[in-house]
Structure 1
Amino acid sequence: MKSYIPTGLIGLLLAGSAAAQGLYYVGSEAKESIPLKWIVGASVTYDDNVSPGFGSKESSFGISPYVGLSFVSITPQTTWDVYARLGLVYYFDAPDGMDDVNSESRAGFNVTHRFNERLRFTSRNFIAYELEPDYSYGYASSRQTNAYFYWQTDNSVGYRWTERLATYTGFSLTGANYDVANNDRFTWELYNQFRYQLTPQTVLTTDYRYAHTTGDGESSDADDQYILLGAEHRFSPNTIGIIRGGIQLHEVDGGDSANSPYFELALNSQVNQQFSVRAFTRYGIENYDTVRTDPSNSFLVQFDDRRTLRFGLSSEYAFSPVLSLFGGVDYIPSDFQQGQVLPPNVPGPVGDYSEDLVNTYIGLSMKINDAITGTVSYNYTHQDSDFAGETYNRNRISIGVSTEF
């Protein structure tokens, strides 16, 4: 019998998990092999609030040299996608309590092996040791004084049972380590996703995920279950969107339990040859940064319910092969609820608090010649917080140059 699903859409049916590629990821793989490419560059930055939320506002100039590489290999059975960027940032006048030099490094590799047209294995891996939070990975919202270490591995097996039905079953491990007490987290997650090809362009999905998070110090361990319905739709060859929604069951060891709506959306589009846009939205209970100081009495508090919305939008427009404009915005409001005073303080009532962060950036990229590219960018961050000392404004201007070979 002739297959209903065109061969080119098997990849849509077996698109897989999005976790290890950040919140912008829509399940797509590299389309063509790329030989080993190196990039070397540096930027100079003026930062008017080097360590926001930590002491008085101090400014400094900084320099950030880096070297990176990328490599993609595609064969009929296996796809390798490897990338790395090793760099540092040096502030000429770093404030007290902050290191003069911090790492700005990250690396990752993704591999997909197709045993046959029905069965495939996918592994997506990422590691970073850097100073600035990357909001698009969904774990950071507040600035730290020194570099933090974050890593994730997501491994899954996809199987196409029939022409329309497929499953993805896997596990992921995530770790975050900070210099600040009570902030380290380790999470393991098991998940299973059913995928049903409704049309050549649309896949319906149902997800069940179970995750356990181990907290550091005074932060509590937590268990989360997610029951989700969703859809993935390819609007055009260059535009794909993912939407999932359902319920999150959140239980904190020794604390309160909570149920919350859970929602995630991602959209990637190459609108035309000049213009591309990406967007994501996620809402749910997060287990990061839940130990805070109560502003009403300065007691240390564990918040069992931190509900967070994450929204991100980025785009790029090429005026010509030489000149491009890029920009984006991140918006992260959080509500802290079900707070519990930590020993040795006397338990008592804890209020609900909120924190909102907005981060915007815009820049120009210009090819100076065939080998050298220059960039200039402006970044503005504002955080409005109920917690003492956590409200701040920050402006950064960067000028950089890079070369590829």
Structure 2
Amino acid sequence: MERILKQSPRRTVLLMVPAQAMPGPGRVIKRYHAPEFLGGLRDQRRAQKEFQTLVHLRELGLAAPKPLEVRLQREHWELVMEEIPGALNLEQVFAQNGARYALAAALAKFLYQLLVLEVRHDDLHPGNVVLDEQDKLWLVDMRGIRRDAPYGKRELRELLIHLCQTCRETTSARWRASVMARLRRCCNKGQLAHLVGNLDLPAIETSARTLRRKRGRKRIGRWQRESSAATRRGAGWLALDRNPGDWIRTPPASLDQALDCWNSLGHLAEHGIPAERPVLLWVGSRSVRVVSQIPTGARRMKTAKEGSPGAWGHILGSIADRGLGPEASNISQWWLTREGAILAGDIHLLDLSRAEQVNPWRFNIEGFNPSWTPDQRREFSSAWCLAHACGPQEQQVLKEALLGDL
């Protein structure tokens, strides 16, 4: 049985599960499918290079999948690896079980092993590290690997900043600080104390937030590529197997309006802001559709007072944490879930200065000028600060800026 694990325009990762009568682990197949002829030659080199990297890392003692073969199958080069039984990448682990502190210790030891073995990964993120049934961490993506590359202070700082920015929405600042503290402890016990002597955790968090904003802006362009979820057809309606939470918008009056709506939702998605999840842009000869997904039971807001101060603090704080702010919007562009959370709709986002980011009262949302009591303002401010996913010192500064003389 074949199951797709990951898919992109140039490569697909498949899991081949053996039949019950055939014992043993399954096979993971990484299939390269560049469209052009020269791309096929590059695919062969990539597959062979990843095979050799896997062999080398396993010889060093780093947990990595066992490579089996590189083959040409139906005009596509494939790298075949042995399956890691019961493995979930850290993104899935965070989503299912949260960021456990036992996992923080395992991740710190894993990072320390990379430092000792002088293995540098240019794109290390939770999707490239998996946890098996014995709570052991494995490195599964060999792209961007550099061997025999000693770490200096700058390289370690860049690694930690990149790793922090990839998991800011799924882990707490305290959990990330725990990972770094345990890594510092490992380095001090070993021969790498010089790397972590002046490690400034608050500065790493600040740099990670800045990098997260830059990456979010850069990735917005992929929502306009043909390889994205944007689908173009000559005529007719594209049938979709929609989940109960999917919601089809009223057909836009023009293609420009549809693209504007699609890009707004993509902007929110790339920044990890609680919002409608864009599913499909379909452009036909006579009609245009934008399909997005919302939680079952969510409804359009009618007045700003429907949302609690804490719910408004969370959504607006999440937006401000990315260095953004909502442009003038109607209250009907916001959703209220059954649990009382607020989700953004197709709102337009603006880049804000640092001074503007700590001033939520400037947001021009229809009806959002609530006459809250001091206790309600404190509830709003606490939720706003928690949404920033920053350390306690920065949270205190934010609270003082928000509450003023209260």
Q: Which has the higher strand share?
A: 1
What's the TM-score once normalised by structure 2's chain length?
Answer: 0.23
Q: Which has the higher helix share?
A: 2
Kindly name which structure, 1 or 2, has the bigger radius of gyration based on alpha carbons.
2
What's the TM-score once normalised by structure 1's chain length?
Answer: 0.24
